[in-house]
A and B are shown apart, each in its own frame.
Chain A
């Protein structure tokens, strides 16, 4: 009897350890996270509007229906990435996520020069190199320092009413996401 109780107590202690281990490993090994689901339908360095994907219903589950959400995946190991758009919309905001789905940086159009989307995401080391020798065309860009490898930007654009949809879609079509 004592051995049975001992076995049960040992099992409960083990359950606690397994609980913590699984909890901490889910974000690392999940194949259902936003990154994996987006990676399965799009290529890196393309602005992909989630609203058009069949699986968007899942990814966008908690998204505001008055917004259009687009993503672009990148890998800073292949160089800094620049996200820019020519047109303007009433409101946009942008988040940088790392591979594990953590929001490492966010900003909105008030932060940007003239409300235009023009940002460069770089690691701290890449940023030092950039500052030494600024490439032409990046003078007005906002630099985001993110100590990540693979990552993605999520760009949300507000659609005040359905008549704005063509403008917002034109804006997203004009947006670029490229390694520089």
Chain B
């Protein structure tokens, strides 16, 4: 009798505890089934739509996200540089290359929770295509650094890890079938403090 009660209890414990725990773990750990990887950048074109997978839907509900719609744009996030090292706020990075066709784009730095970093002084919190110096071949070099840099300086504040978010607005990329064939800029580490 006691043995049956124990086994029943064990079964329920594994079922409820394991079920709830695995959901909690999966929402935090799994990058997302609909992830699109281009170079070091990741985007979730399906996020927030009716076609999104159940994990993405649950995460959007739990994190209170309001993802961009198809006609609005598409956000790419990079949290590692070209040598696969995690991005650090005390390092200087060159983000260089061509940016895919879009009406305009923005780049900003975010912390581990994907929240935009506090702006430095009176500077704008990010760089947009409206205020950028381009090279003669129309490519763009943005320097993300805690120290002032010439040309396009994306000022970084604070300590710890960070990620870079490149958002393309009103872009055919978001509705393109061959979305994985686009080219995005590389994130190259140039130097680090300490």
Instruction: State the A residues within 8 Å of B (CB).
Output: 3-4, 6-8, 10-19, 21-24, 26-27, 30, 32-34, 37, 57-66, 69, 71, 90-91, 93-95, 97, 100-108, 110-111, 154, 156, 158, 160-162
Contact = CB atoms under 8 A, between A and B. Distances in A.
**Chain B CB within 10 A, most for which of A12, A21, A34, A69:** A34
Nearest to B118: A65
B89 to A, nearest CB: 16
B104 A91 contact: yes
Contacts of B17: 15
B58 interface: yes
Contacts, number: 192
Contacts of B12: 11, 14
Interface of B: 3, 7-8, 10-20, 22-23, 26, 48-50, 52, 54-55, 57-58, 60-73, 75, 103-104, 106, 108, 113-116, 119, 122, 124-126, 128, 130-131, 165, 167, 169-170
Contacts of B104: 91, 158
B62 A30 contact: yes
Q: Is the interface of B mostly helix, strand, loop or mixed?
A: mixed
A8 B17 CA distance: 13
Contacts of A30: 61-62
7 contacts: A8-B14, A14-B11, A61-B115, A91-B169, A93-B72, A95-B68, A105-B69
A156 B18 CA distance: 40
Contacts of B57: 26-27, 100-102
